[in-house]
Amino acid sequence: MNSMMKIIREQLRYFYLVRRLSVYELRSLTSGNYLGMAWEIINPAIQITIYWFVFGFGIRQREPIGDIPYLQWMLAGILVWFFITQAVMKGSKSIYSKIKMLAKMNFPMSVIPGYVIFAQFYPHLVILGLGMVFLQFIGYPVSIYYIQLPLYMLSLLAFLFSLVLITSTLTTIVRDVQMLLQSIMRMLLYLSPILWPPTLLPETWQPYMKLNPFYYIIEGYRYSLLGEGWYFLENPVYTAYFAGVILLTFFIGSYLHIKFRNQFIDFL
């Protein structure tokens, strides 16, 4: 508990620094490209087109998901997955890749994963905004359910930060963890309800899909963008489960980070 409170105090005290460093990080990632930030939109657009063609036309033969056309259904879920993937992968290697550069600066190391995640959050907001505009023109206008989106965004940021506290610590100690994470994230793309609906599974298997905490966020985004309802109210038990996962992950991540951060430099 002491570790959790210490991490929270550090984030609140240095939040202004998190914002400043996240903007610097974003600029540094795109400064060497002619198109700059445009690649943060071009790459997801290319991937969405490929997935839509392969799964929408090839595998599903343009068959809708319930009453929702496949493109709209897939788009509403995959928009958040791009952010999840980038935040987990870049956040997990943030400490060992930046600690030498930032060692002389006077702030706690827990700031590093935080600002790296925030640097990926800005492109997510841009992509999400473009996705909303696109949905307006293909039959899914803005609805009252959009007001629940900030809840899922904040929940996702809390979970990603908690998770990255764990993975960045382990990756600093054992570099092989980063390679394992790459494989896990690739698998989760196909094991999460992004490219195919969980209703294709036998009914007895479907509850196990919900053990994946990203399932909650993806469905929350989908309910919001497609106007399907209030997901967190319609699934109170699952909402409580997701909150419990965040608390447990944050507890473990805080403990590991505080325990090992004074030794991080020894593992470089």
pLDDT single digits (tens) 27-70: 776 666 655 566 667 777 777 777 777 776 666 556 777 788 88
With cut-offs at 50, 70 and 90, classify the pLDDT of residue 164: very high
With cut-offs at 50, 70 and 90, classify the pLDDT of residue 262: confident
Contact 209, 193 (CB under 8 A): yes
pTM beyond cutoff 0.85: yes
Contact 97, 116 (CB under 8 A): no
Task: Using DSSP, state whether 169 is helix, strand or coil.
Answer: helix
Q: What percent of the chain has pLDDT above 70?
A: 88
Distance CA 198, CA 83 (A): 22
Contact 214, 84 (CB under 8 A): yes
Report which of 72, 46, 70 is spatially closest to residue 60, judged by C-alpha positions: 70
CA-based radius of gyration for the chain? 19
Report which of 211, 216, 207, 209 is spatially closest to residue 234, judged by C-alpha positions: 216
The domain limits of the chain are: 2-267
CA angle 229, 235, 240 (to 5 degrees): 135
pLDDT at 149: 94
Using the predicted structure, report yes or no on whether residue 210 has a pLDDT greater than 60: yes
Using the predicted structure, report yes or no on whether residue 18 has a pLDDT greater than 90: no
Interval 240-265 mean pLDDT = 89
Query: Which pLDDT tens digit goes with each residue over 87-145?
Result: 999 888 888 877 766 656 677 788 888 888 988 898 899 889 988 988 888 888 888 99
Q: Say how many Å lie between the first and final Cα of the chain, rounded.
A: 29
pLDDT at 13: 83
Distance CA 214, CA 188 (A): 9
